[in-house]
Each structure stands twice: as structure tokens, then as C-alpha cells.
Amino acid sequence: MKHLLSIEELSSEQLTDLVNLGAELKSKRRVNVGKYLPLNHQCWGLIFTKSSTRTRVSFETGVRELGGSIMFLSDRDLQLGRGEPIEDTARVLGRMLDGCVIRTHDHADIVRFAEYSRIPTINALDDDEHPCQILADLLTMQENLGGWEGRKVVFAGDIDCNVARSWMWAAERLGFQLVLAGPADFQPPQAFLKQFQSGNVQIEEDLQAAAKGADVLYTDVWVSMGKEEEASNRFETLKPYQINQSIVDLAKANALVMHCLPAYRGKEITADVLEAHADTIFQEAENRLHAQKAVLVRLAEARLHG
């Protein structure tokens, strides 16, 4: 693995390996302090053109815990924000940095950065995918449910957003059932859906029908970054897809409720459900750190041996 650009590009073996390594790094976090430093003497960059709390802090912490240093580069400061091409930015940073983590809109920009910089490049969310989030979510499933085999995950709300699409690739690769519950207007286009041949990914307009027997109820914001102009229409159309107690009651008795965060209480999830499942949801947030450290370790190893 030279880069982490999407879940789509990963095999089931790679996904499983990253989750297992994330679990190992989590269990050894304290004993590894100052001893396990695979990023020693490395300097990584974080280029973000969208807001972030979890992703930024987990990468800054993760790189440092692994012995490296990291610099945050906002597009407000970079010449990129004034129109310098991504190819030129990549060729400059590729000669100075050991790896780069990028959050932006267009997936093609991250692919181009990886190609032109030739340094390990990590997709920290774009309009198409959020691979780091799904690795942390899988780790959370493994910790709480013992894995994903035979499990039913229901993703409710904006089922064509980046997080939903990454979930789709995870279900396709790993073989669990993923039911996307959302209105017709928010379904991914047929051309995209055609890629999922396994039968693991299903679409259901009725959230109540979808929620029955679920092992995981998952939701994300209704207004993803960049979609703010559509907010009022989205709130109206997505109202029936809120995760509330009546939906939780339809799922399995010990079903997990998960949310990638940030959460908007009273919109995609009610405050009472979020607080009742806060242990899982904030464990999921913490797992961003551990899962991403696994990614950093594997990318550093591949660079060393490649």
C-alpha cells in the first residue's frame, strides 16, 4: 500500500490488516511511548481545505506518537489557495516531506497529489470518500461486536455522501450486509451502484423496514461540507431518516448506534439517542487515532521497502 486514497482501492486483506494493527497499536499505546518510532525523523504535512476537529487532531497526535513531526497547512496560507496548481504544490512538497494527509473537495486532486509528489498520500476526506473514518468504524465494530461477519449495518440519511460511499466499498470487500436507508433523491447514481455486484449493498427507502434486526445503526450529518446552500431542502427531505428511539427499538437489542461526528442533535440523531450511545460514538472518534496510526505505519513500511 503506497497511499490511502479510498476504501475502494483496498482489498479485504488490507482492510483487515489495518484494523488489526490499529487494535494492536491501541493496546500498546502507553508502552510504546518513546520506544516504537517508525516515523522517526520524518516530517508529514496536513493540507486541509475543509474544517476538521477529529481528523486533524488524530493525525497530528498520531504522527507525533510514532516519532515524526507534522505541519498543518491551510489552503488560506498555501499558494494553492491563490491558484497554484496541485501538481506544482505536490512536486515541491514531495521533495521536502515524507508524507501528506489531504482533506479537500475533489478526489482527483488527491490522486494527482499522490502521483506528482511520489510521497505517501492519505485521503482525509473528499467529496467521494472518507476512508480513515471507515477504518475507525470497523475497529469499533470489531471491539464491540467481535467483527463484521454476518452483521447488518444500516446507514440512514444522506446515503450518497462520502461516508456512505466508503461504507459501501467496505461492505463490498468484507462481506457484511449494508442497507442504505434514504430518500430516492439522495440515492447514489445507478452508474455508481452498478459497481456493487456482491449483493451486500442494498437500498431501502423505508428506514423502519431497514432498521429491523440491525446490528449497527449509523448516521452522518445531513449537510456535508460544501452542500450548505442545500441545507433547508435537505433538512425537509431527510426528516424521516432521523435516528431516534423508535428506530433504535426496531434494531437488535444490543445494536450499536454510531456517528462519525460532528453531530447535529435534533436533525440526523436525537440528543437522547446520542447520549445513550455516547460510549460507542466517542470510542469511534478515539479510534480515528489508532486506525490512522496503522495506516501511517503501513505506508512508512511500504516506502522503506519499496
260 classed as catalytic? yes
**3-class DSSP assignment, residue 213:** coil
Other beta carbons within 10 Å of 49: 20
Q: Applying CB under 6 A, which part among 50-58, 79-87, 173-181, 272-280 lies near ligand CP?
A: 50-58
Amino acid at 119: I
Q: Of ligand NVA, ligand CP, none, which one sits near residue 161, judging by CB under 5 to 8 A according to partner kind?
A: ligand NVA
Other beta carbons within 10 Å of 65: 20
276 part of the interface to ligand NVA, by CB under 6 A: no
288 classed as catalytic? yes
Spell out where the chain has E strands: 43-48, 69-74, 99-103, 121-123, 152-156, 177-181, 201-204, 216-219, 256-259
Q: How many CA atoms lie within 13 A of 186 on its CB side?
A: 31
Q: Of ligand CP, ligand NVA, none, which one sits near residue 287, judging by CB under 5 to 8 A according to partner kind?
A: none
Complex with ligand NVA: residue 260 or 296, whichever CB lies closer: 260
**3-class DSSP assignment, residue 124:** coil
Q: Which phi and psi angles does 216 have, rounded to 5°?
A: -135, 130
Least spacing, CB of residue 48 vs ligand CP, in Å:
9
**Angstrom distance (rounded) from CA 141 to CA 164:** 16
122 part of the interface to ligand NVA, by CB under 6 A: no
281 part of the interface to ligand NVA, by CB under 6 A: no
10 part of the interface to ligand NVA, by CB under 6 A: no
133 part of the interface to ligand CP, by CB under 6 A: yes
Q: Among the options 130, 173, 259, 290, which is catalytic?
A: 130
Q: Which residues are catalytic?
A: 103, 130, 133, 220, 260, 288
Residues found near ligand CP in the complex (CB under 6 A): 52-55, 125, 133, 260-261
Residues found near ligand NVA in the complex (CB under 6 A): 125, 130, 161-163, 220-221, 224-225, 260
